[in-house]
């Protein structure tokens, strides 16, 4: 119990960093709760006076008390409205702050860790768990306020009838002990339920994003079966969680009913023996719900704290990097790179796999165009992943302008390098907004320039809404070639000194591929350009070509020199020529 309390208090303290900016709403809520508590305690006293006056037939006094009660209830309603206003102002502000922080920290997680976890895990933590954390402080105020109110009524019963007070007190002790016992059981079931929900959410995300391929592969039946299976598992976990709560709720409800029975019997006995008047018994019975609510307050408070503790643990695992290690960068800043790149004995292997690169050495000069060719799996894309900081080499150094990139901050690396990948992700926005999301101050002229360079402008202006056309999640309304040309234009808009083309023309037909090649030629001499391509026609105009095989450089030279002196490169080129003829 002490460990759980310490654990919860630790996360409350950490969560307060997001709430303190809006602490004025917490203060307002506390003040309103104090007023609300006072009014709620006064109301039953006036109600008791009303009933006693009724038995004494003092009708004028009864009328005045009734008006007073009406005023009290109106004031209480005003307090509830104001408190709700404070809650909403606080909740949406704090929720936004936490969601932004978790989203920011999610973007810092190592690429390999992101690949090992489903998107549902992160979606649930950014959306659901952050809401739980945002609401906890005002919920605590509400629960404590209700507890004080109802406890004040319990104290009033102490003065009205001591025997009934003892019954209530015994009931509260029994229920409190039950709640302590049940909360641990319920928490275990909740963890399982949330894990199953994460799995389901992640799969549904994959289903929606991959709907086109699912249809093409005629795999609807298997995906529906998998969805049904995950839904059943999630619902079963929720059912077990809910059944566990219901079991203890059933026990408590039966104890409460027995309590009501005993109170009525003792009340009748006391009236018969002249120790209690009917009016007082009616007052006690009319407010027994408030006494029972003390147990509900305790139960809800414990549940809210447990729920909060679980959500906070899940959220701060991301924020603090627990189980989700973050990318590591240096502190040196390079504002504008010249474009010099050097690999010094660089080796790399993905987690639990064989070495992909073996003591790789090469250097690239500013404004030079260099291409990497080789069979699939040779390690070409890995070179780009290392250069852009998505992964860190196992051994060796990568230098940018003579500085090891491990010493550079994130902006120095990614602010100087643009990557155009083989499978670019296009955001579910308009074409224009796909540019603005990566460069907020981009002008329409720059967007048009980039699209012309990528041979995309004519296609865009042919659309009904032009640059304001919505293109669907992942660019689903575009062809593969159109998506890649948009990705090329989007990268060009950043105007970084170094541009990496990672199979960027693989989905383009020969005519468009030729236009993109012309665009790349236009960039040559002004930018440091690195190209990975299966189509050797894409790289024939490069200043140098590196031939990669099994993670090693086995050849270097121009297209002409390699054709003449390197059998492996010549073989690759002949295979491409044969494909064209076929």
In a domain, 514, yes or no: no
**340 and 217 within one domain:** no
**315 and 337 within one domain:** no
More confident residue, 225 or 145: 225
Residue with token string 């852009």: 388
**148 and 116 within one domain:** yes
**300 and 221 within one domain:** yes
pLDDT tens digits for range 61-95:
556 656 766 776 677 778 777 777 777 777 778 88
How far is the C-alpha of 53 from the C-alpha of 283, rounded, in Å? 12
pLDDT of residue 106: 84
Domain end call among 277, 292, 319: 319
**356 and 237 within one domain:** no
In a domain, 520, yes or no: no
Q: Which tokens sit at 267?
A: 């009340």
Q: How confident is the model at residue 578 (pLDDT cuts 50, 70, 90)?
A: low
Going from the C-alpha of 398 to that of each of 349, 350, 402, 553, the distances in angstroms are 15, 17, 9, 16
Q: How many CA atoms lie within 13 A of 523 on its CB side?
A: 33
In a domain, 475, yes or no: no
**142 and 239 within one domain:** yes
DSSP class per residue in 373-389: E-STTSSHHHHHHHHTT
pLDDT of residue 444: 92
Specify the pTM: 0.67
Helix axes 288-319, 278-286, angle to 10 degrees: 20
pLDDT tens digits for range 386-421:
998 888 898 999 999 999 999 999 889 988 988 887
Chain centroid to CA 280: 55
**264 and 346 within one domain:** no
**343 and 215 within one domain:** no
Domain end call among 265, 296, 319: 319
In a domain, 445, yes or no: no
Going from the C-alpha of 277 to that of each of 267, 268, 284, 330, the distances in angstroms are 9, 9, 11, 80
**358 and 288 within one domain:** no
In a domain, 218, yes or no: yes
Q: Is the separation of the CB atoms in 421 and 502 below 8 Å?
A: yes
- CATH number at 404 reads 3.40.50.300
Burial 141-156 (b: 16+ CB within 10 A, else e): bbbebbbbbbbbbbeb
**151 and 209 within one domain:** yes
How many structural domains is the chain composed of? 2
What 3-state DSSP class applies to 494? Answer: coil
In a domain, 502, yes or no: no
Residue with token string 């901050």: 409
Long-range contact pairs involving 99-103 (C-beta distance under 8 Å, separation at least 24): 99/126, 99/127, 99/130, 101/18, 101/319, 102/126, 102/130, 102/315, 102/318, 102/319
pLDDT tens digits for range 495-520:
888 998 887 666 566 776 777 777 77
Domain end call among 261, 295, 319: 319
- Structural domain for 174, as ranges: 20-319
In a domain, 112, yes or no: yes
- CATH number at 226 reads 1.20.1560.10
**374 and 303 within one domain:** no
How large is the average pLDDT for residues 231-235?
83
In a domain, 253, yes or no: yes
Long-range contact pairs involving 296-299 (C-beta distance under 8 Å, separation at least 24): 297/143, 297/146, 297/147, 297/150, 298/147, 298/172, 298/175, 298/176, 298/179, 299/175, 299/179, 299/252
pLDDT of residue 418: 87
How far is the C-alpha of 383 from the C-alpha of 6, rounded, in Å? 47
Q: What residues does 363 pair with on adjacent strands?
A: 342
**Strands 403-404 and 395-400, bridge-based pairing:** antiparallel
How far is the C-alpha of 172 from the C-alpha of 293, rounded, in Å? 10
- Most distant pair of Cα atoms in the chain: their distance: 118
**408 and 314 within one domain:** no
């Amino acid at each position: 119990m002490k460990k759980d309390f310490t654990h919860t208090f630790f996360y409350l303290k950490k969560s307060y960093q997001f709430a303190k900016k809006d602490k004025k709403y917490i203060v307002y809520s506390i003040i309103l709760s104090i007023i609300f508590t006072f009014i709620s305690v006064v109301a039953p006293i006036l109600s008791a006076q009303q009933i006693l006056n009724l038995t004494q037939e003092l009708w004028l006094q009864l009328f005045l008390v009734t008006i007073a009660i009406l005023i009290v209830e109106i004031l209480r309603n005003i307090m509830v409205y104001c408190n709700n206003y404070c809650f909403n102002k606080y909740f949406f502000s704090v929720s936004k702050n936490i969601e932004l922080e978790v989203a920011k920290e999610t973007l810092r997680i190592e690429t390999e860790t992101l690949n090992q976890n489903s998107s549902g895990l992160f979606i649930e933590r950014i959306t659901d768990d952050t809401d739980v954390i945002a609401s906890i402080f005002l919920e605590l105020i509400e629960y404590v306020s209700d507890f004080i109110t109802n406890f004040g009524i319990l104290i009033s019963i102490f003065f009205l009838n001591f025997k009934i007070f003892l019954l209530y007190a015994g009931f509260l002790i029994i229920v409190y002990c039950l709640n302590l016992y049940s909360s641990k059981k319920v928490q275990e079931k909740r963890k399982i339920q949330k894990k199953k929900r994460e799995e389901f959410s992640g799969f549904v995300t994959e289903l929606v994003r991959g709907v086109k391929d699912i249809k093409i592969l005629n795999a609807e039946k298997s995906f529906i079966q998998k969805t049904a299976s995950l839904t059943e598992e999630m619902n079963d976990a929720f059912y077990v969680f809910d059944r566990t709560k219901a079991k203890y709720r059933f026990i408590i409800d039966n104890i409460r009913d027995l309590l009501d029975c005993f109170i009525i019997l003792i009340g009748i006995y006391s009236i018969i023996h002249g120790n209690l008047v009917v009016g007082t018994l009616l007052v006690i019975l009319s407010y027994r719900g408030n006494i029972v609510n003390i147990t509900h307050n305790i139960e809800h408070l414990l549940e809210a704290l447990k729920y909060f503790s679980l959500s906070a643990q899940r959220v701060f695992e991301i924020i603090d990097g627990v189980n989700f290690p973050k990318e590591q960068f240096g502190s040196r800043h390079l504002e504008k790179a010249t474009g010099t790149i050097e690999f010094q004995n660089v080796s790399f292997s993905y987690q639990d796999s064989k070495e992909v690169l073996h003591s790789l050495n090469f250097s690239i000069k500013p404004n030079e165009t260099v291409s990497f060719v080789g069979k699939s799996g040779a390690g070409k894309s890995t070179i780009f992943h290392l250069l852009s900081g998505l992964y860190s080499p196992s051994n060796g150094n990568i230098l940018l302008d003579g500085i090891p990139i491990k010493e550079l901050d994130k902006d120095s690396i990614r602010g100087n390098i643009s990557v155009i990948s083989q499978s670019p992700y296009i955001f579910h926005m308009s074409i224009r907004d796909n540019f603005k999301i990566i460069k907020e101050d981009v002008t329409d002229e720059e967007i048009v320039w980039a699209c012309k360079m990528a041979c995309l402008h004519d296609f865009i202006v042919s659309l009904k809404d032009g640059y304001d056309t919505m293109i669907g999640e992942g660019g689903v309304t575009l062809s593969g070639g159109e998506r890649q040309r948009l990705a090329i234009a989007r990268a060009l808009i950043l105007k970084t000194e170094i541009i990496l083309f990672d199979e960027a023309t693989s989905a383009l037909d020969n005519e468009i591929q030729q236009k993109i090649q012309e665009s790349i030629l236009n960039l040559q001499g002004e930018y440091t350009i690195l190209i990975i391509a299966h189509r050797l026609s894409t790289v024939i105009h490069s200043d140098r070509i590196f031939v990669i095989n099994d993670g090693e450089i086995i050849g270097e030279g121009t297209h002409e020199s390699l054709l003449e002196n390197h059998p492996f490169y010549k073989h690759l080129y002949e295979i491409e020529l044969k494909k064209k003829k076929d």
